[in-house]
């Protein structure tokens, strides 16, 4: 400002005389003194405070008097003072991330609340090894901030995203088990034998799902989902299934603040299977010709209810943050006690996290770091208990007359309550992670970055089965103890240089870097039986008699893997409307064969911001219009370690030379040509906004071709040392459409209503399973257990999608209650020649709708989520809807059905799986407490999750497993629950 003033006066001096200058100065002084007195203008000394929408003081807000070269900034408490200001003066307030505001001075004291600039908050997206402005994004990337996270209880932070990103499927196939992890797929299933879950990056560090679950969900700031090949290719062999970049919260410049969060919740089963009651069961036995004399124990027991308890769980957490011009730190501690609704099951977790940042040398050097730790204690359940509850005798008691658990005298199901009560199955995990990075600004256009990270994961599990359990008694084990430990260590080092160049026309950024990653795993296991008593201490695993008899078992294993990569990327834009991005990664991994350890992974994408063209008039309602196209190649290295070399293992014992000797032999063939599965993906998309982005939407089409699919094939003997070989052969494709929309229905000062919605459609097809060396045109799967075990249920065949059901086609029952199927070859008998395609278990459509409504200090939100275009195999009907399973209990649906034949898979048991779920509803109220000395605000809220499921499926829940057997609703399960939660959040 000073230089500008000097330049201005120098120009004036060149055009006027010194006498003129003196005259002007005298006249200006006269006006300044006389005019206010003539008109009676009142001057004020103004003091005030500036805060954000949550009541937090804002430090360093620029406060300028409009059209005058005077002003001030707020101090560490958000306070400011301006002396001798005329009344009705307009103050202009500016602050990064906030909307510029104008305030008219009408009194001596001003309390100003600055509004967040939503455009600025959303304009930066993490893309891996850096960020990019949203307007310059050329790939399919979706960012979800904490304001859009799912409400309610979550034991896995990834569920914050459920239903928020079109194309991202998060399925909790284990019900509400607090110890389970969800299944995640992005844009379909991309592999048969290799991993199919997205890569997870937390604050720049490669992470696993267990490491993500060790992070407190309240510490997460945003998720950035890299969906297409052009965005994920920079991660090479780990980017084939997409990438999820997690950003945690950091402190910002401002007054120290503390936030306390607490919530309490309880849960109840959403839906139970309807079994025959005691009276219905006894009547059914009699109708089917079974004796009821020794089958009535005189009780009426709902065995599923016996496994459910009234539970009460809670979370307590506190975080603190503080920041100055050159340093900031944020820390948090949280504790969650999840008491499951299932007896003897639960999960407790203690987490702690610290994020810090420090600037040096006038902000030329930035040091950042994170530390995270978690202790998780798990009490595991047995999903088979609910299967036993289905079939167990409804007239039997839980306990016998002696007060011990009632059990059948002979062969039969297990008392489900005893099954969970006589087994102590627990585990404890310690997870630690941390990273430290340095960013040095060498030149205004050049910076270098280096980061080191370390992750340690230690797990110890123990299981003891009581001497009195049915399992021990029938097997003669006299109690059984199992122990397993797991140690995981990961080290990462990455360094890269960033170059930037910008003019009014050109904008160029480039980076080049290096990455090294090493992972080490070690595990131990042991098992022993033959204990004298169940008394704790006496059932120590070393006290079992099997150890003395040489019948105990133990094992140990270890492995390691390394990965090295070199990568680079260029981002270029011309006039801010023509966008171009290109990247390449050269990567080597020890997981592959000697001849294929290294690979290239290039990507290119481009964008056109059409609205910036001159042919668009200012009158258009469009506020954004951008076309995007991209192509990228990624790989998949998520395969078993040492799969490319010959391995030898214990093959049991052989009698030789008068004694039994241990035998070792080959268990795999070497394959020096083993390499990564390769994905080549095309993506085309359009982003648009209307009415100043009041309505925003995006549409993407993708086509992904996966080649060199890995699978096990028959190997020619004797040229090979083992009968099968793991090798690259097949081809698979996924293609689909994704649509996302957001709309501010109402955005007044006091009333705001926002809607988000979207859908995705995916087609999956297996193109090939054979090549010139290895031949297969189909693979069958039979996941059914007894009494239907061994029956083909799924087929993986060229030209068909993964998850295709394959079996007999139902036509009815004959008069004797026997099956009538379609006899395709008309030979009068049923065989695999009569099998046909019966549908698919993979949903083709996913959709969601979320609503957020705020009025003054009240807020209300909900989310709907659903899927369509698939069938579910109701295995419980196969097992428990057939009178041949008597004398065990059956589903109530068996009443009135004529079926009296062997359990046989057919389309009779396939049901439409379409569903619509009301995922969550939240109602809250925020108290403005900014007038208090130490508290800025408090919010109370109530949330209900999984309130309603609309579906025609007759089982427990249609949202079941995926993988290679999607839609398979297994007999053992963990129930879904409705959760009711009451929470409190206080900011100090």
Confidence at residue 95, expressed as pLDDT on a 0 to 100 scale = 83
Q: How many angstroms separate the CA atoms of 690 and 621, rounded?
A: 6
pLDDT at 654 over 80: yes
Query: What is the overall mean pLDDT for the chain?
Result: 89
Phi and psi torsions of 561, nearest 5°: -145, 150
pLDDT at 742 over 60: yes
Q: Tell me: the pLDDT tens digits for 704-715? A: 999 999 998 888
Residue 834 DSSP one-character state: G
CB atoms within 10 A of CB 362: 8
Instruction: Mention every residue, 6+ apart, whose C-beta is less than 8 A from residue 157.
Output: 212, 213, 215, 217, 220, 246
Domain residue ranges in the chain: 1-40, 439-572
Confidence of residue 118 (pLDDT cuts 50, 70, 90): low
Helices (H) and strands (E) in the chain, counts: 12, 49
pTM value?
0.86
Tell me the mean pLDDT in the region 785-801. 91
Burial class (CB in 10 A: 0-12, 13-18, 19+), 317: buried
Tell me the mean pLDDT in the region 294-319. 93
Task: Name which of 17, 184, 173, 97 is nearest 956 in CA terms.
Answer: 173
* Separation of first and last alpha carbons in the chain: 38
pLDDT at 5 over 70: no
Q: Tell me: the pLDDT tens digits for 10-60? A: 443 444 344 444 443 334 344 333 433 334 457 888 999 998 876 778 887
Q: Tell me: the pLDDT tens digits for 841-889? A: 999 999 999 999 999 999 999 999 999 999 999 999 999 998 888 888 9
SS3 track for 608-644? EEHHHCCCCCCCCCEEEEEEEEEEEEEEECCCCCCCC
Q: How many angstroms separate the CA atoms of 184 and 165, rounded?
A: 12
């Amino acid at each position: 400002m000073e230089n500008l003033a000097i330049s201005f006066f120098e120009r004036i001096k060149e055009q006027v005389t010194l006498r003129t200058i003196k005259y002007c100065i005298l006249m200006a002084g006269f006006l300044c003194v006389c005019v206010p007195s003539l008109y009676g203008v009142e001057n004020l000394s103004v003091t005030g405070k500036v805060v954000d929408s949550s009541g937090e003081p804002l430090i360093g807000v620029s406060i300028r008097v409009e059209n005058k070269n005077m002003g001030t900034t707020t101090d560490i408490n958000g306070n400011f003072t301006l002396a001798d200001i005329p009344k009705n003066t307009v103050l202009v307030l500016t602050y990064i991330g906030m909307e510029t505001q104008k305030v008219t001075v009408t009194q001596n004291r001003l309390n100003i609340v600055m509004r967040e600039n939503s455009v600025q908050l959303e304009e930066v997206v993490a893309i891996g090894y850096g960020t990019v402005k949203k307007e310059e994004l050329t790939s399919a990337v979706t960012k979800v901030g904490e304001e859009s996270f799912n409400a309610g209880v979550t034991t896995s932070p990834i569920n914050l995203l459920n239903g928020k990103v079109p194309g991202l499927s998060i399925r909790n196939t284990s019900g509400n088990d607090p110890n389970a992890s969800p299944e995640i797929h992005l844009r379909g299933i991309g592999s048969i034998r290799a991993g199919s879950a997205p890569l997870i990056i937390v604050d720049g560090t490669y992470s696993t799902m267990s490491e993500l679950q060790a992070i407190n969900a309240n510490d997460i700031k945003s998720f950035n989902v890299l969906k297409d090949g052009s965005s994920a290719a920079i991660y090479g062999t780990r980017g084939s299934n997409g990438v999820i970049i997690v950003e945690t919260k950091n402190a910002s410049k401002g007054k120290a603040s503390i936030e306390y969060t607490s919530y309490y919740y309880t849960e109840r089963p959403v839906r139970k299977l309807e079994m025959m009651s005691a009276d219905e069961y006894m009547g059914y036995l009699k109708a089917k010709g079974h004796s009821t004399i020794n089958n009535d124990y005189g009780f009426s027991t709902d065995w599923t209810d016996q496994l459910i308890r009234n539970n009460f769980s809670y979370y307590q957490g506190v975080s603190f943050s503080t920041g100055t011009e050159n340093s900031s730190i944020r820390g948090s501690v949280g504790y969650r006690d999840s008491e499951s609704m299932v007896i003897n099951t639960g999960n407790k977790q203690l987490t702690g996290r610290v994020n810090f940042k420090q600037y040096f040398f006038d902000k030329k050097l930035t040091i950042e770091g994170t530390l995270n730790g978690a202790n998780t204690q798990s009490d595991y359940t047995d999903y088979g208990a609910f299967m036993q509850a289905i079939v167990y005798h409804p007239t039997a008691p839980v306990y016998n007359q002696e007060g011990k658990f009632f059990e059948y005298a002979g062969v039969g199901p297990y008392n489900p309550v005893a099954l969970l009560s006589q087994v102590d199955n627990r585990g404890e995990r310690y997870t630690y992670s941390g990273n430290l990075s340095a960013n040095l600004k060498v030149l205004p256009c050049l910076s270098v970055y280096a980061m080191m990270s370390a992750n340690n994961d230690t797990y110890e599990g123990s299981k003891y089965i009581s001497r009195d359990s049915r399992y021990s008694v029938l097997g003669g084990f006299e109690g059984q103890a199992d122990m397993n430990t797991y140690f995981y260590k990961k080290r990462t080092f990455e360094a890269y240089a960033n170059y930037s160049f910008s003019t009014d026309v050109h904008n160029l950024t480039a980076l080049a870097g290096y990455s090294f990653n090493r992972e080490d795993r070690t595990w131990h296991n042991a098992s022993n039986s033959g204990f004298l008593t169940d008394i704790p201490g006496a059932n120590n695993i070393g006290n079992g008699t099997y150890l003395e008899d040489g019948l105990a078992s133990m094992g140990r294993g270890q492995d390691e893997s390394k990965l090295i990569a070199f990568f680079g990327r260029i981002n270029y834009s011309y006039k801010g409307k023509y966008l171009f991005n290109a990247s390449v990664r050269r990567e080597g991994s020890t997981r592959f064969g000697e001849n294929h350890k290294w690979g290239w992974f290039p990507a290119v994408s481009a964008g056109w911001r059409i609205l910036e063209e001159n042919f668009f008039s200012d009158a258009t309602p469009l506020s954004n219009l951008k076309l995007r196209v991209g192509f990228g190649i990624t790989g998949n290295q998520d395969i078993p370690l040492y799969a490319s070399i010959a391995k030898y293992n214990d093959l049991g014992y052989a009698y030789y030379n008068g004694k039994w000797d241990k035998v070792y032999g080959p268990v795999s063939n070497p394959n020096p040509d083993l390499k990564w599965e390769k994905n080549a993906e095309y993506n085309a998309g359009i982003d648009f906004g209307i009415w100043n982005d009041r309505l925003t939407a995006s549409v993407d089409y993708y086509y992904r071709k996966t080649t060199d699919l890995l699978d096990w094939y028959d190997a020619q003997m004797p040229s090979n040392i083992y009968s099968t070989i793991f090798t690259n052969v097949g081809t698979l494709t996924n293609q689909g459409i994704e649509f996302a929309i957001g709309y501010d229905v109402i955005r007044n000062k006091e009333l705001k209503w926002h809607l988000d919605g979207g859908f995705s459609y995916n087609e999956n097809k297996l193109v090939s399973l054979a090549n010139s060396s290895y031949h297969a045109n189909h693979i069958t799967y039979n996941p059914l257990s007894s009494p239907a075990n061994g029956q083909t249920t799924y087929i993986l065949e060229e030209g068909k999608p993964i998850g295709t059901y394959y079996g007999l086609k139902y036509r009815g029952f004959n008069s004797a209650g026997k099956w009538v199927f379609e006899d395709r070859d008309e030979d009068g008998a049923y065989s695999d020649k009569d099998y046909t395609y019966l549908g698919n278990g993979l949903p083709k459509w996913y959709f969601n709708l979320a609503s957020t409504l705020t009025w003054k200090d009240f807020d209300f939100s909900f989310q709907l989520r659903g899927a369509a275009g698939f069938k579910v195999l109701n295995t419980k009907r196969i097992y428990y809807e057939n009178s041949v399973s008597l004398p065990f209990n059956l589903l109530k649906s068996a009443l009135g059905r004529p079926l009296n034949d062997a359990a046989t898979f057919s389309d009779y048991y396939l049901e439409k799986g379409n569903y619509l779920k009301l995922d969550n509803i939240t109602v809250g109220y925020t108290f403005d407490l900014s007038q208090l000395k130490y508290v800025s605000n408090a919010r109370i809220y109530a949330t209900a999750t999984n309130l309603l499921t609309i579906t025609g499926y007759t089982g427990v829940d249609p949202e079941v497993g995926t993988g290679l057997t999607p839609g398979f609703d297994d007999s053992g399960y963990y129930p879904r629950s409705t959760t009711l939660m009451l929470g409190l959040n206080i900011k100090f």
